[in-house]
Amino acid sequence: MRLPDKRCDIAVAVARIKDSDTVMVGGFGVPGTPMALIHALVDHGARDLTLIKNDANEPGMGIDHLLKSGQVARLITTHLGLNSHAIDLMNSGRIQVEFNAQGILAERIRAGGAGIGAVLSDIGIGTELADGKQVVEVDGKPHLVESALRADFALIHADRADHFGNLAYVATARNFNPLMAMAATRVIAEAETILPLGALDADAVHTPGVFVDHVAELVALSGEYAVVQR
Amino acid sequence: MSPNWLLFPGNTPLSNAKTRMIARAAREIAPGMVVNLGIGLPTRVVDHLPADFPVCLHTENGLTGIGPSLPPDRADRNLIDAGGAYVSTVPGSAFFDSATSFAMVRSGRLDLTMLGAFEVSSQGDLANWKIPGKFSPGVGGGIELAQKARRVVVLTTHTDRAGNPKLRDTCALPLTAQGCVSRVFTEMAVIDITPQGYALAEIAEGVSLAEVREATGAPFTIPHDTVPVF
Domain boundaries, chain A: 10-106+150-219
Residues B144, A123 contacting (CB under 8 angstroms): yes
Residue B98 in any domain: the answer is no
Q: Give the CATH class of A10-106+150-219.
A: alpha beta
Q: How far apart are CA A164 and CA A57, in angstroms?
A: 30
- pLDDT for A78 equals 97
The enclosing H or E element of B112 equals strand B112-115
Neighbours of B84 (CB within 10 A): 18
Query: CATH number for the domain including B199?
Result: 3.40.1080.10
Q: Does residue A50 sit in helix, strand or coil?
A: strand
- B77–A79 C-beta distance less than 8 A: no
How many whole angstroms separate alpha carbon B74 and alpha carbon A222? 19
Q: Answer yes or no: B60 catalytic.
A: yes
The pLDDT of residue B39: 87
Residue A196 DSSP code: P
Which residue type sits at A224? E
pLDDT truncated to tens, each residue of chain B (230 aa)? 333 333 333 444 667 889 999 999 999 999 999 999 998 889 999 999 998 999 999 999 999 999 999 999 999 999 999 999 999 999 999 999 999 999 999 999 999 999 999 999 999 999 999 999 888 899 999 999 999 999 999 999 999 999 999 999 999 999 999 999 999 999 999 999 999 999 999 999 999 999 999 999 999 999 988 999 99
CA gyration radius for chain A?
Answer: 18
Q: Is position B151 within any domain?
A: yes
Cβ of B177 under 8 Å from any chain A Cβ? yes
Q: Is residue B8 part of a domain?
A: yes
Mean of the per-residue pLDDT values for chain A?
97
Q: Which residues of A touch B84 (CB under 8 A)?
A: 29, 82, 228
Measured in degrees and rounded to the nearest 5, phi and psi for residue A176 equal -85, -5
**B96 lies in some domain:** no
For residue A79, the chain B residues in CB contact (below 8 A) are 137-140
Query: Which residue is catalytic, options B60, B119, B187, B211?
Result: B60
Residue A164 C-alpha from the chain's centroid: 20
* Type of residue numbered A229: Q
For residues A157 and A27, the answer to whether their CB atoms sit within 8 Å is yes
The per-residue pLDDT for B13 is 62
Q: Which domain holds residue B216?
A: 4-38+108-221
How many domains does chain B contain in total?
Answer: 1
The bridge status of strand B197-203 relative to strand B181-185 is unpaired
**Domain assignment present for B216:** yes
pLDDT for position B14: 64
Whether B88 maps to a domain, the answer reads no
Q: What is the C-alpha separation between B13 and B18, in angstroms, rounded? A: 8
Q: Specify the pairing of strand A72-77 against strand A49-52.
A: parallel
Question: What does DSSP say about strands A184-195 and A118-121: parallel, antiparallel, or unpaired?
Answer: unpaired
Within a 10 A sphere around the Cβ of A219, how many other Cβ atoms?
7
Does residue B177 fall inside a structural domain? yes
User: Is the minimum CB–CB distance between B9 and chain A shorter than 8 Å?
Assistant: no
One digit per residue, the tens of pLDDT, for chain A of length 230 reads 899 999 999 999 999 999 999 999 999 999 999 999 999 999 999 999 999 999 999 999 999 999 999 999 999 999 999 999 999 999 999 999 999 999 999 999 999 999 999 999 999 999 999 999 999 999 999 999 999 999 999 999 999 999 999 999 999 999 999 999 999 999 999 999 999 999 999 999 999 999 999 999 999 999 999 999 87
CA A1 to chain B, closest CA, distance in angstroms equals 32
Separation in Å, CA B144 to CA A52, B22, B60, B149: 20, 23, 10, 8
Q: Is A84 helix (H, G, I), strand (E, B) or coil?
A: helix
